[in-house]
Structure 1
Amino acid sequence: MNRKLLAALSFVALAGTAAFAGTEAGSGVPGSIHDMTIYGAYGSGDPEVQQGRVCAYCHTPHHAITEGNDYLPLWSHTVTTQTFTPYASATIDANIDPTTMMEGPSKLCMSCHDGSVAVDTHYAFTGGKKLQQDDNLFSTPAVGEKGNLSNDHPIGFIYDDADGGIAKGPETGNPNLEDHVQGKDEWIRNKNATYAGSGLKIADRLWASASQGGKPIMTCATCHDVHNKKNKDKAGSTNYLLLATNEGSALCLSCHIK
């Protein structure tokens, strides 16, 4: 996992340690780094700040956004319209189509994390705090600022060899090097492998891509649990909402055989 991606997804830098109270893994959204109410009153007279409604920055029970993405879970936050440049390298076997790579939850994540939409935008309220701002609220630049994801972990590709993707490695143990196939990667575990320290399978965190005929693709949610319930960050460490701890690179090693 790209360390820049993990650092940017944290995005919190308040004076002292008060902002990190209640951010232990599995403790839920309230008090976590995705609790927008802990960063102060964003808009003058904004009723969601006054009422302390944690969920309202992303979700609404009524009048939800219904257009603009294939995955809109009672969504209240403006969806990014940014065009993205995917990761590219001579070492990657996956094929990533920049026009469809944001299917599923990734586009919703990037509606804050690309810096194009203020994180406190919701309902008819237009917010004013964007992730690229370098002030006492956010200390790190946005992931994918101006649509550039060329130096971040790739997403939007079919994951598993069984589905026409690249991951050809075993669930556990090491690969049989005699099974090498051009364009496949036997050093990436197949989707039935589990995250380190969890019974959760990689397959559980892939998204059925409409453009790929329902085949499962990797998204931001393949590594992160935005609701802070399934994640396994080490107690006492910064909670990056990871599905396996960073200690010993356990998250990386859940997929990559090294």
Structure 2
Amino acid sequence: MPSDPDAKWRVRLAFLSLFAVFAIGVYFSGQLAKLQEGMAVRQNRTAAQGTSEVKQAAEPLKPRADDKSQPLLAMATKAADETDAAIESLTNEIAPPGIAKTIEFYHAASPGDLEALRRDVKTAETNATTFLPRYVALLKAEHDGLEQYARANADRSTATRLLASLERRQAAITDFASRMLAARADYYRAYDNYVAFLAREYGAFKVDKGQFVFPLQFTYNRYNVVAGAMTAAANRVGELDQEGR
């Protein structure tokens, strides 16, 4: 989750390039204050640089300078740009803005504030769980449009090779998107458990010098359990981010 409410997790899809996503990181120390502050997972934008990939993919399609591959590649690039914009727009819908909170929020939050945050987190979890078919539909639309154009404007061999390459890339994109969305859903689920715990303990804990203070060791131990689960989920998202890079 971004510490900046305006920051959004985005996805950049370029033609014949692998899925690139926004990085989600987490800082979570053993101290209660840092544990709390580390709950916000940063999303750092990684833009897919498709130029070199498109150039490499184009090489087997242009054995000579005067062939008909250039209009096909231009169409492919246009289709990729349109899909990229559609995926970015869809991705922005996953998490409501301002979902990440710092310890200052919990210090001043009312029970209503905590419940509102839980609703937003549950919305993000539901979206991460159910959005994959919408990504697949965007990829299919790109594939179908490019296939129709290639069949009509390129020789059969060129069209077949281009579409085979596109299908391999889109299969990799779909697999990665599936795993990343599942990991994000797990994170939001753990995030909800974290907020639910604090809501149950409302009035019993306090914030002193940037740290949560609980009256009982038992409560402190339970806090560490829910906080640790959230960290583990965030770490999994971070691992997938590295794979995406």
TM-score by length of 2: 0.29
Higher relative contact order (CA 8 A, sep 6+): 2
Which structure shows the bigger proportion of residues in helix conformation? Answer: 2
| Greater gyration radius | 2
TM-score by length of 1: 0.28
